[in-house]
């Protein structure tokens, strides 16, 4: 592999673009620091002065509510000045206009970009071309990666299950188009989960998916056996038109998580979903709102994990800075 652009010369986090290339120590450090930010919820004034005087720009080229708001709240709780920009893209010369946008914002003395973009590699591209003192956080790029989502999922899993080494985790649904799944699989393998299993119809799995370090099942009923953590993925409705699936109701019948199917997993299994949920498509409401669901916990944890990652990326950038 070429030089890891995510780390500075001291091996510390500079950009957070993908889980790939980061080691267990660093991922664990992120989880540990986030743990302390959770403690802040007891404070009357929920703010720490770590990033006072820093300017963070959320650059969202793609719609998002949860991710953008939790990034914004995380930045504010770190006392940074934060600006959220939603930029619609339709131009074909995206490369050039993207750089122009970046250059203009750089001229406003920005310290960090949080980027969501429909094109895979966009955050990486910005990190390569932006001024050396600026950190870039990937808030989702195309079908490539969504590393902060994966980290908040790891955090939520650790909160309930403490240790990864005995865990069997099933990721269910549209693996093919999911940047979340890709990042989750990498994080689970780095953190040492006993098994990562993907459960999906053949049409929603990338070819050679096993090479990511997962076991594959095409049947939800048998696939859920012995599972400790169930991660449901959103079925992106726009895929329905592309002949990958017969119909929503057919999908729900085969791959939707119902109370009956949940019973096949371990009795203390937890149910996760990165949101937004399609109730009655990939998950039954009774399961989504049920006692084994930690979906809202994931949302709360998103703030702490993003605080940890932003704070770590903004620390002194040594010689590499």
Partner 1 sequence: MLDINDLLNKLEAELKRVIVERGLVDPLMIGIRTGGVWVAEQLHQRLGIQDDLALLDISFYRDDFSQIGVNPNVKPSQLPQDIKGRDIILIDDVFYTGRTIRAALNEIFDYGRPNQVVLAVLIERDGKQIPLCPDCVGTSIKLNAGQRIKLTGPSPLSIHLQTLDAVA
**Is 44 one of the binding residues for partner 1 (CB under 8 A)?**
yes
> What phi, psi does 217 have (nearest 5°)?
-135, 145
| Candidate list 9, 23, 36, 104; residue touching partner 1; CB under 8 A | 36
Decide if 186 contacts 179 (C-beta within 8 A).
no
Question: Taking the complex as a whole, how short is the minimal distance between the CB of residue 78 and partner 1, in angstroms?
Answer: 9
Q: Cα–Cα distance between 262 and 117 in angstroms, integer?
A: 34
Tokens standing for residue 256: 């939707």
**Is 277 one of the binding residues for partner 1 (CB under 8 A)?**
no
Q: Cα–Cα distance between 270 and 112 in angstroms, integer?
A: 35
Q: Which of 14, 68, 117, 146 is catalytic?
A: 146
> What phi, psi does 154 have (nearest 5°)?
-60, -40
Q: Please choose, from the candidates 305, 179, 188, the residue with its C-alpha nearest in 3D space to the C-alpha of residue 234.
A: 179
| Candidate list 9, 23, 24, 43; residue touching partner 1; CB under 8 A | 43
The region of 30-38, 210-218, 255-263, 280-288 touching partner 1 under the rule CB under 8 A is 30-38
| Candidate list 1, 2, 49, 208; residue touching partner 1; CB under 8 A | 49
Residue located via tokens 């329905």: 240
The region of 39-47, 136-144, 195-203, 275-283 touching partner 1 under the rule CB under 8 A is 39-47
| Cα separation values, 315 from 53, 83, 219, Å | 13, 20, 46
What is the pattern of x (binds partner 1, CB under 8 A) and - over residues 3-22?
---------x----------
For residues 50-79, which are near partner 1 according to CB under 8 A? 50
With the C-alpha atoms ordered 45, 50, 54, 55, is the resulting torsion angle positive or negative?
A: negative
Tokens standing for residue 204: 């929603």
**Is 99 one of the binding residues for partner 1 (CB under 8 A)?**
no
**Is 38 one of the binding residues for partner 1 (CB under 8 A)?**
yes
The region of 158-166, 201-209, 286-294, 304-312 touching partner 1 under the rule CB under 8 A is 304-312
Q: Is 94 a catalytic residue?
A: yes
Do the bridges between strand 135-141 and strand 168-172 make them parallel or antiparallel, or are there none, so unpaired? unpaired
Q: Please choose, from the candidates 196, 114, 195, the residue with its C-alpha nearest in 3D space to the C-alpha of residue 149.
A: 114
**Is 45 one of the binding residues for partner 1 (CB under 8 A)?**
yes
Q: What positions carry a catalytic annotation?
A: 66-67, 94, 116, 146
By the criterion CB under 8 A, which residues form the site for partner 1?
12, 29, 32-33, 35-40, 42-45, 47-50, 308, 311-312, 315-316
């Amino acid at each position: 592999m070429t030089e890891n652009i995510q780390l500075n010369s001291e091996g510390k986090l500079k950009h957070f673009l993908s889980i790939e290339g980061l080691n267990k120590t660093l991922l664990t450090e992120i989880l540990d620091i986030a743990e302390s930010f959770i403690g802040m919820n007891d404070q009357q004034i929920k703010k720490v002065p770590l990033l006072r005087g820093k300017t963070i720009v959320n650059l969202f080229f793609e719609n998002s509510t949860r991710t953008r708001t939790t990034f914004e709240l995380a930045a504010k709780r770190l006392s940074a000045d934060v600006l959220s920009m939603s930029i619609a893209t339709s131009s074909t010369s995206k490369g050039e206009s993207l750089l122009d946008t970046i250059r203009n914002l750089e001229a406003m003395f920005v310290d960090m970009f949080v980027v969501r973009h429909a094109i895979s590699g966009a955050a990486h591209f910005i990190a390569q071309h932006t001024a050396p003192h600026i950190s870039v956080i990937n808030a989702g790029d195309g079908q490539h990666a969504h590393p902060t989502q994966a980290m908040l999922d790891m955090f939520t899993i650790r909160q309930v299950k403490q240790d990864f080494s005995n865990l069997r985790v099933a990721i269910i649904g549209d693996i093919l188009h999911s940047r979340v799944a890709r990042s989750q699989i990498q994080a689970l393998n780095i953190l040492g989960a006993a098994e990562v299993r993907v459960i999906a119809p053949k049409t929603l799995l990338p070819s050679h998916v096993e090479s990511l370090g997962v076991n594959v099942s095409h049947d939800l009923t048998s696939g859920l056996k012995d599972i400790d953590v169930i991660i449901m993925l959103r079925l992106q409705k726009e895929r329905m038109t592309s002949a990958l699936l017969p119909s929503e109701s057919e999908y729900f019948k085969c791959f939707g998580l119902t109370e009956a199917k949940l019973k096949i997993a371990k009795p203390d299994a937890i149910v996760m979903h990165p949101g937004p949920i399609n109730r009655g498509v990939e998950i039954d409401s009774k399961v989504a709102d049920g006692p084994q669901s930690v979906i809202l916990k994931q949302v709360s944890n998103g703030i702490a994990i993003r605080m940890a990652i932003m704070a770590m990326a903004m620390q002194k950038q040594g010689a590499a800075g």
